[in-house]
Amino acid sequence: MKKLHLFFISTPGIGNLVPLIEFARLLTNHDRRFHATVLLISIPKRPIVTSYIQSRGASSSLDDNPITFVHLPAVDPPSSDQYESSLAYLCLLIDKHKPHVKHAIANALQIRSNSDSDSVRVAGFFVDMFCTSMIDVANELGIPSYLYFASPASFLGFLLYLPTLDAQLATEFVDSEHTQLIVPKDSFTELKIPSFVNALPPLVLPTTVLKRKEDGYAWFLYHARRYTETKGMVVNTFQELEPYAIDSLRVGGMPPVYPTGPVLDLAGPAEWHPDRVHQENIMKWLDDQPPSSVVFLLFWKHGFLWSTRERPKNTAHLSDEYSNLEEVLPEGFLDRTAKIGLVCGWVPQATILAHQAIGGFVSHCGWNSIMESLWYGVPIATWPIYAEQQLNAFQLVKELRLAVEIRLDYREGSNLVSAEELEKALRRLMDGDNEVRKKTKEMKERSRMAMMENGSSYKSLGYLIEELLANLGGYK
């Protein structure tokens, strides 16, 4: 059967790469007429990323696997005088790959054309949130471009509104004397964003937005403006989770929005991570714990599983393992907690959340983590750190009532979370009768129904496929 071609490109971080590839798998498995080529921006010394890609690309022949991976040639990194922030570095690095992307697409089409009797037909090119410069390549080649957004619809709405919000930030905020963040002139200032029901306190905005003088902010604006140039916006969410935010994207002449989630790697690193022994030890420890008794990350009277790693070097790198946990923990901590907890480095998160012993999850509120937690019905306590995590925490606690608040506005440089704050939140989190736990269990069922035949995300994926086929003149 003649294949229709789709191209995909992602920011070179595991948190961006996995959702994009899993979406490519979802789409090609849903409709076997499509073949996907994922273009990979290579960054050295990423064994976990390499292992994941190898697991997804294993196949005996090109036609057996609906996804092909193409490693783009390396480029010279941006020089230090070209950027201030890690986000700016990453965006410049991606932009430098445009000639290689154009060549790789042309080459992939030539290979396919030589192996098939008919010419290859391309239905679309999917770019992620920081790869919008590749829209230029799609336009040059006459290929329809689509946004694949691995974060929530609420954050997509925030970014789409950011060019409008920019003027308000410029007039109603001033630079703080004590931090690099901008702060409101009026302490009562709140921001009304169309994708949020409630007005936002300024300090739940992403750090990049609150550092308007840094070049990362300019890149946020750049990408936000380019989203509207695409033929559609695919979001890793589902209608039942974010009805208000999704509906807000369907007004004002925006490109069509397709909520197709939750798109998850449910097997997770348990299937492809090179350190299987470490994983097995964690799961054996959990097997010995009572059902719903363990807090994933933290402690107190409940058992705990604490995954702790060093800060990543930049946004494109993974966190490193601590070589000696005793050097970063209080003296005697490991001995005192040996019978009730386990402190470790990397963990297979999805596999752990699926375990019956897990009763709560203290999360940084990355969207992948939130979606996995909801899929398994594990209630969350919010401890955001960077990116859009403060906005995610705000939505979970204040709008969706799906999480317990530790902090909503925590970030690097914030006052430390006190033991009292933590204890109070964990007692609420592990209360078996609390409203958050009940609503989380309900959303677990809704997330699964969304992906089933005739579910909201299943239908949305079908509408997207109809659009892709329409690009080819109604291909049958």
Q: Which two tokens stand for residue 132?
A: 């919008």
pLDDT at 332: 58
Instruction: Report whether pLDDT(316) > 50.
Output: no
Higher-confidence position of 426 and 462 = 462
| Residues facing residue 5 across a β-bridge | 35, 122
Share of the chain above pLDDT 70, in %: 82
| Residues facing residue 363 across a β-bridge | 382
- Structure confidence by residue, pLDDT tens digits, 32-76: 999 999 999 988 777 777 778 887 875 544 456 789 999 999 999
Higher-confidence position of 288 and 383 = 383
Residues 6+ apart with CB under 8 A from 152: 235, 236, 237, 242, 245, 367, 370, 388, 392, 395
Share of the chain above pLDDT 90, in %: 58
- Structure confidence by residue, pLDDT tens digits, 217-258: 999 999 999 999 999 999 999 999 999 999 999 988 899 999
DSSP string, 96-137: TTHHHHHHHHHHHHHHHHHHSSS--EEEEEEE-TT-GGGHHH
Instruction: Report whether pLDDT(1) > 70.
Output: no
Q: Which two tokens stand for residue 375?
A: 């899929």
Between CA 469 and CA 457 the distance in angstroms is 18
pLDDT at 60: 40
Q: Which two tokens stand for residue 137?
A: 């390549």
pLDDT at 266: 86
- Band (282; pLDDT cuts 50, 70, 90): confident
Instruction: Report whether pLDDT(308) > 60.
Output: no
Span of 11-25, 334-348, 383-397, 448-462 with lowest mean pLDDT: 334-348
Span of 91-100, 145-154, 179-188, 196-205 with lowest mean pLDDT: 179-188
Among 237, 279, 280, 282, smallest CA distance to 260 is for 237
Describe the crossing of helices 47-57 and 14-30 by its angle, rounded to 10 degrees: 10
Q: Which helix (H) or strand (E) holds 181?
A: none
Residues 6+ apart with CB under 8 A from 315: 13, 86, 87, 90
Q: What are phi and psi of 24, to 5 degrees?
A: -60, -40
- Structure confidence by residue, pLDDT tens digits, 194-208: 999 999 999 999 999
Between CA 44 and CA 317 the distance in angstroms is 9
Q: Specify the pairing of strand 121-127 against strand 145-149.
A: parallel
Q: Is 79 left (phi over 0), alpha (psi -120 to 50) or beta?
A: beta
- Band (183; pLDDT cuts 50, 70, 90): confident
- Band (300; pLDDT cuts 50, 70, 90): very low
Instruction: Report whether pLDDT(138) > 80.
Output: yes
CA–CA distances in Å: residue 231 to residues 127, 228, 254, 275, 461: 11, 8, 9, 41, 15
Among 255, 213, 201, smallest CA distance to 230 is for 255
* Helix, strand counts (H, E) of the chain: 18, 15
pLDDT at 111: 67
Predicted model pTM = 0.88
pLDDT at 57: 73
- Band (14; pLDDT cuts 50, 70, 90): confident
Q: What are phi and psi of 267, to 5 degrees?
A: -70, -35
Q: Which two tokens stand for residue 246?
A: 């999704």
- Band (315; pLDDT cuts 50, 70, 90): very low
Instruction: Please write down the long-range contacts of 271-278, taking CB distance under 8 Å and 24 or more positions apart.
Output: 271/55, 272/51, 272/52, 272/54, 272/55, 272/56, 273/48, 273/51, 273/346, 273/348, 274/47, 274/48, 274/51, 275/346, 278/344, 278/345, 278/346
pLDDT at 101: 97
Residue 55, amino acid? S
DSSP string, 388-420: THHHHHHIIIIIS--EEES-SS--TTSPPPPHH
- Band (128; pLDDT cuts 50, 70, 90): very high
Tell me the mean pLDDT in the region 3-29.
93
Span of 110-119, 185-194, 403-412 with lowest mean pLDDT: 110-119
Between CA 271 and CA 354 the distance in angstroms is 14
pLDDT at 110: 77
Between CA 56 and CA 40 the distance in angstroms is 13
- Structure confidence by residue, pLDDT tens digits, 342-373: 655 566 788 889 889 888 999 999 999 999 99
Average pLDDT, the chain: 85
Q: What is the largest CA-CA distance in the chain?
A: 70
Cα torsion angle, 244, 249, 251, 252, sign: positive
Instruction: Report whether pLDDT(318) > 80.
Output: no
